[in-house]
Amino acid sequence: MDTTFVDREQPRLLQELSEFLAIPSVSTLPAHSGDCRRAAEWLRTELTRLGCPVVTLIEGDGHPVVWAEGPAVPGRPTLLVYGHYDVQPPDPLEEWDTPPFEPTVRDGRLYARGAADDKGQVFCLLKAYEAVLDSDGRPPLNLRFIFEGEEECGGRVISDLLRAEPERTRADAALVCDMSYYAPEWPAVYTGLRGLCYAEISVRTLQRDLHSGTYGGVAPNAIETLVRILAGLKDEDGEIQMPKFYKSVEPPSKRELKTWRKLPFDKERFLHEEVTSRALTGMKDYSIFERTWALPTLEIHGIRGGFTGDGAKTVIPAQATAKVSLRLVPGQRYEKVGRQLERAVAELTPKWADAKVTLLHGGDPVVVDVDHPAFGVLDQAFESVVGRKAVQVRAGGSIPIIPELGLAGAPVILTGIGLPDDGLHSPNEKLDLAQLWTGIQIFGRFFELFAEQAMAKDGGTGADESVAEAEAVEMA
């Protein structure tokens, strides 16, 4: 692959990405479901333009999955590429310097919701493929693209699809480009992701709001009751107070802990520039890496109850609601944790209240065995473009669909071109354009190297045991 594509095409690529990012594909807000479809259609058009003979929107009870297959390249391995075209809601809007769906370049960074998570990275993969086609004139391997529209909202379309058609996503490896470098100039590959159990807790204490003068002193206040339940689920040091919660937690391996201890880490910069706080919280006996990568947490994402307009209203509120989630680590299963949460809330609920826990979505934690040769290929690609191999870390976030990808033992390569300060899920989310331009070269190179490595493994005679070959035989 020659490296002139990016230099030549930068203005056009920036224009195309801006067009993609301008579509407010906020999957969790029903008002944006038309926009989610527009983003899916944008991908369909793009994949068709890239010469994929199969491009379909797979429908279900939610936003469609975009599925595409590159031209068949007999004898070459098959790579599954996963990404998502939906984005988080942009609020609080007033904290954005420029509107979230009007992509804007400042100081070499492209600001927009989805710039890094994950539209910018999906775009990077598509353009890496385009760059290889541009340079080599033909695809080096069999590509399968699966882009979902419900990663941020926990929809069921993709998992219903994978359950109905477990063979569809069979591949020699899966590439999931939804992550970031460990630090600037430090590309990363991920050995694990936390799982997620997302729920809403609603409390009702009265049939109607009451006057706090008349009834204050005897009438149970729904916000106060919810507040005590939430305070009771976790102690001040961050330890989750649910019976047997930590029992099944598997600690990280010695090798991982050793790697983490050697990572460059500037705690002051992390605190002030990334976390933007005065102090950190959490379980003090554990390192920051352990707290964010290898221990479960419980966060309150939103709370609402009573009168929240301007001014004063003296009600005793009858009901209140909070959204919470638990991040889970190896050894934990989200369905079991959901039941533990329900029980813990029931135990914390006083006799005067009804508390209801609604599980909204979840996914199990991910553990990746990075000893597979595909990771050596990724290292080569990073080394050839940015001069450094990928460092092996974990991530505290979750991609709930990964455990369901039905890869039958094939490796999941979790990596990405983001940077730690991209502001995922926050106002002023951005992507450094330099990361995009090098990313296109890295993944273009990876596609080529992955094909070569698989062929070398088979003595240059073609990847007999590759998925493409197996399919050809089956179809015969």
Binding positions for its own copies, 77-116, rule CB under 8 A = 88-89, 91-92, 95
The yes or no reply on residue 361 touching its own copies (CB under 8 A) is yes
Nearest CB to its own copies, comparing residues 213 and 459: 213
- Give the distance, in angstroms, between the CA of residue 27 and the centroid of all CA atoms in the same chain: 13
Is 406 buried (19+), middle (13-18) or exposed (0-12) by CB count in 10 A? middle
Q: Nearest distance from residue 63's CB to its own copies, in Å?
A: 12
DSSP code, position 181: -
Residue 221 vs 441, nearer CB to its own copies: 221
Residue span 372-411 as binding mask against its own copies, x where in contact by CB under 8 A, dash where not:
-----------------------xxxx-------------
∠ CA 258-392-396 to the nearest 5 degrees? 95
CA dist 91 and 145 (Å) reads 30
Residue 83 or 444 with smaller CB distance to its own copies = 83
Question: To the nearest whole angstrom, how small is the minimum distance from the Cβ of residue 397 to its own copies?
Answer: 3
Is 69 a known active-site residue? no
Smallest distance, its own copies to C-beta of residue 13, A: 26
Show Cβ contacts of residue 211 under 8 Å, excluding neighbours closer than 6 positions.
314, 315, 316
For the stretch 300-307, contacts whose Cβ atoms lie closer than 8 Å and that sit 24 or more positions apart, written own/partner, are 300/230, 300/324, 301/325, 303/226, 303/230, 305/222, 305/223, 305/226, 306/209, 306/222, 306/223
- Asked if 42 and 135 touch (Cβ cutoff 8 Å), the reply is no
* Nearer to its own copies (CB atom), residue 28 or residue 380: 28
Of 310 and 371, the one with the shorter C-beta distance to its own copies is 310
CB of 215 to its own copies, least distance (A): 6
Closest distance between its own copies and the C-beta of residue 186, in Å?
16
Question: What torsion do the CA atoms of 435, 437, 438, 439 make, to the nearest 10 degrees?
Answer: 70
Interaction mask 8-27, its own copies, x per CB under 8 A: -------------------x
* Strand 354-363 versus strand 210-211 pairing type: unpaired
**Window 276-315: contact mask with its own copies (x via CB under 8 A):** xxxxxxxx----x--xx--x-x-xxxxxxxxxxxxxxxxx
The active-site residue, picked from 46, 130, 150, 151, is 151
How many whole angstroms separate alpha carbon 462 and alpha carbon 441?
Answer: 25
Are the C-beta atoms of 65 and 149 separated by less than 8 Å? yes
- Min. distance of Cβ 150 from its own copies in angstroms? 10
Window of 44-52, 323-331, 407-415, 432-440 that interacts with its own copies by CB under 8 A: 323-331
Least distance (Å) between residue 320 CB and its own copies: 7
Q: What is the CA angle 459-464-470, rounded to 5?
A: 165
Identify which of residues 93 and 408 has a Cβ nearer to its own copies in the complex: 93
- CB-nearer residue toward its own copies: 236 or 474: 236
**Judged by CB under 8 A, which of 103, 317, 411, 416 binds its own copies?**
317
Q: How far is CA 183 from CA 121, 186, 390, in A?
A: 17, 5, 11
Cis bond before residue 92 (omega within 30° of 0)? yes
Contacts of 275 (CB under 8 A, 6+ apart): none
Sign of CA dihedral 229, 235, 240, 241: negative
Q: Which of 9, 46, 86, 429 is catalytic?
A: 86
Q: Which residues are CB-contacts of 258 (< 8 A; sequence separation ≥ 6)?
A: none
Site for its own copies in 172-211 (CB under 8 A): 194, 196, 198, 205-211
List binders of its own copies among 415-454 (CB under 8 A). Answer: 420, 423-428
Per-position x/- string for 217-256, each x denoting binding to its own copies as judged by CB under 8 A, each - no binding: xxxxx-xx--xx-xx--x-x-x------------------
How far is residue 454 from each of residues 80, 232, 451, measured CA to CA in Å?
15, 53, 5
Residue 290 annotated in active site: no
Q: Which is nearer to its own copies, 282 or 373 (CB)?
A: 282
Instruction: Kindly report the number of other CB atoms within 10 A of residue 453's CB atom.
Output: 17
Instruction: Identify whether the C-beta of residue 473 lies closer than 8 Å to the C-beta of residue 465.
Output: no
Radius of gyration of the chain (CA): 24
By C-beta, is 2 or 266 nearer to its own copies?
266
Residues forming beta bridges with residue 351, ordered by sequence position? none
CB of 393 to its own copies, least distance (A): 12
Judged by CB under 8 A, the number of residues near its own copies is 99
Active site residues: 86, 151
